[in-house]
Amino acid sequence: MRGYLPDCDIRVPDSLAAALDLLAREPGVWTPFAGGTDLMVVYNAGRLKATRFLDLSRLSELRGIQEDETSLAFGSLTTYTEIRECRAVHQHFPNLVKSARVTGALAIQNRGTLGGNIVNASPAADTPPSLLAYGAELELVSPRGLRRVAYDRFHLGYKRMDLAADELVARIILPKPTGRSFHYFRKVGTRQAQAIAKVSLAAHARIEDGHLAALWIGLGSVAPAPVRARNAEAALIGKPLAALPIEAAREALLGDMSPIDDIRASAHYRSVVTQNVLGHMLRDLAGA
């Protein structure tokens, strides 16, 4: 254990207002701390710069999954286990359940939160591709009030986000799919469980009259942050399921990725395998 404990401090506000107050009074000083499954790893390795933490875990305002007619709203403290156990999520957002199920293993799923996964902003994170594929919106809260941003505009670059120092992610809102829809999620990890993604792809489509009326594709591990595959989407939208331009879509996908070599996989592997996974998804879709 290499973190230097004596330097550390953690505050436990008991209301959202108190938490926001502390954040606003000393901007950039207090690091939000949810399940700690990202922060503690870096701390234990002695590589965490932050030493002052703001424990969010007692903030009931950030908990729970609320359903209304058109959407599901996830408190940012929603854990993977809560996602796995929620019927409405299974019903409307099966990709998100799959993402949750392949995140780490059970002990991580019990502690890790959706908000933490988003703000940790790892390009390899597992829920962001699904959130992108479902057109998620984030509700951010600060002493200045609430604001909403579309999740596909939230990540600005490697670990850079549209999130001010005094803001917290409050809720993640997913509009319920309508009509006939198709869902696909695949993670290619370093092993079958307790694995970091080398490639991941989530897709959600609306099918009308045998055609692809709408399509959202989210990619992980192939860019500095989770990204939408807008080029591939454009190549496919409006096309009949019976004659999907698979080769053209694969080609277009290259324009959506900027993978790098790292310890887990080469850039070449990432780009070829993402194309193959897209191909796999489209074969599934054609059969849908």
- List residues near ligand FAD by CB under 6 A: 31-39, 41, 56, 76, 103-104, 108, 111-113, 115-117, 119-120, 125-126, 168-169, 194
Q: What angle do CA 108, 141, 40 make, to 5 degrees?
A: 25
Residue with tokens 């591939």: 232
Backbone angles phi and psi of 207, in degrees to 5? -110, 125
Q: By CB under 8 A, what part of segment 89-118 binds another protein?
A: 104-108, 110-111
* 260 makes contact with another protein (CB under 8 A): no
Q: Which does 17 bind (CB under 5 to 8 A by kind): ligand FAD, another protein, none?
A: none
Binding residues for another protein, rule CB under 8 A, total 54
Backbone angles phi and psi of 191, in degrees to 5? -165, -175
* 49 makes contact with another protein (CB under 8 A): no
Q: Which does 113 bind (CB under 5 to 8 A by kind): ligand FAD, another protein, none?
A: ligand FAD
* 280 makes contact with another protein (CB under 8 A): yes
Q: For residues 3 and 247, give the distance between their C-alpha atoms in angstroms, rounded to a whole number.
A: 50
12 versus 108: smaller Cβ distance to ligand FAD: 108
Q: For residues 205 and 202, give the distance between their C-alpha atoms in angstroms, rounded to a whole number.
A: 10
Torsion of CA 227, 232, 238, 244, to 10 degrees: -130
- The interface mask with another protein, positions 191-210, x = CB under 8 A, is xxxxxx-xx-----------
Is 193 buried (19+), middle (13-18) or exposed (0-12) by CB count in 10 A? exposed
221 by DSSP, 3-state: which?
coil
188 versus 203: smaller Cβ distance to another protein: 188
Q: Which does 76 bind (CB under 5 to 8 A by kind): ligand FAD, another protein, none?
A: ligand FAD
User: Strand 145-150 and strand 155-157: pairing?
Assistant: unpaired
Q: How far is the CB of 247 from another protein (least distance, A)?
A: 15
Q: Which of 182, 32, 12 is nearest to 93 (CA)?
A: 182
Chain residues that interact with another protein, rule: CB under 8 A: 1-10, 12, 33, 35-37, 40-41, 44-46, 51, 53, 55, 57, 81, 104-108, 110-111, 188, 190-196, 198-199, 263-266, 268-269, 272-273, 276-277, 279-280
